[in-house]
Amino acid sequence: MTETLPTFVERNTAQLPQLLDKILAAARPGAVFSEPVRSGDYTVITASEVTAGGGFGSGFGSGPAPAGRATGTGESGSASATQPSEAGGGGFGGGGGSHGRPVAVIVIGPDGVRVRPVVDVTKIGLAAVTTWLAMIAIFRRRMRRRRAARTA
């Protein structure tokens, strides 16, 4: 049993809302807050930032079959008479991704409830290095301009 391309695309397109719902499920609070973990007198809940996204696309087209392959008239009565006079192609594709990063830890203990931030040293370090490199580049350009202005 074979499936025609438009039917295949139509069937998959009909499933898109369900797939999108699965991606957008990252919007519920359960995706951000972990299950409470108990250890002794302390209970810990991790709070994370979650991002998710995805997209899908499909397309198909048809046109006259390449010359010599399709007669489609059936005049000769040969095997070529059964060949289609039209040819087509298409495709269906999609992609997506998600990312999570811990932001803080909620600690419930005998001394009360505390929110402890989680510091992403790598993220801050990379931002700092990028900032410094940009500053150095700007400073050097300014110095070069000043030198050029003095010599002029």
Partner 1 sequence: MLRLTTTAGQPTTVGDVTVTPEARAFVVRLPFAGFVWNWPTAVHVQRAGEVQHLRIVDVSRVAQLGLLAATLLLVLLGRGVDARRKEKRDD
130, containing H or E segment: helix 121-151
* Residue among 81 and 115 whose Cβ is closer to partner 1: 115
**How many other C-beta atoms are found inside a 10 Å radius of the C-beta of residue 109?**
12
Report the Cα 69 to chain-centroid distance in Å. Answer: 42
* Nearest-angstrom CA–CA distance, 68 and 60: 23
Taking only Cα atoms into account, the Rg of the chain, rounded to an integer number of angstroms, comes to 31
- The one-character DSSP state at 29 is G
Report if residue 120 touches partner 1, rule: CB under 8 A.
Answer: yes
Contact 97, 54 (CB under 8 A): yes
Instruction: Select the span of 2-10, 62-70, 84-92, 114-122 touching partner 1 (CB under 8 A).
Output: 114-122
Candidates 6, 69, 117, 143; binder of partner 1 (CB under 8 A) is 117
Minimum separation from the CB atom of position 35 to partner 1 (A): 9
Contact positions with partner 1 (CB under 8 A) in 58-77: none
Binding site for partner 1 (CB under 8 A): 16, 20, 23-24, 26-33, 36, 43, 45, 47-57, 101, 103-104, 106, 108, 112-113, 115, 117-120, 123-124, 127-128, 131, 134-135, 138, 142, 145, 149
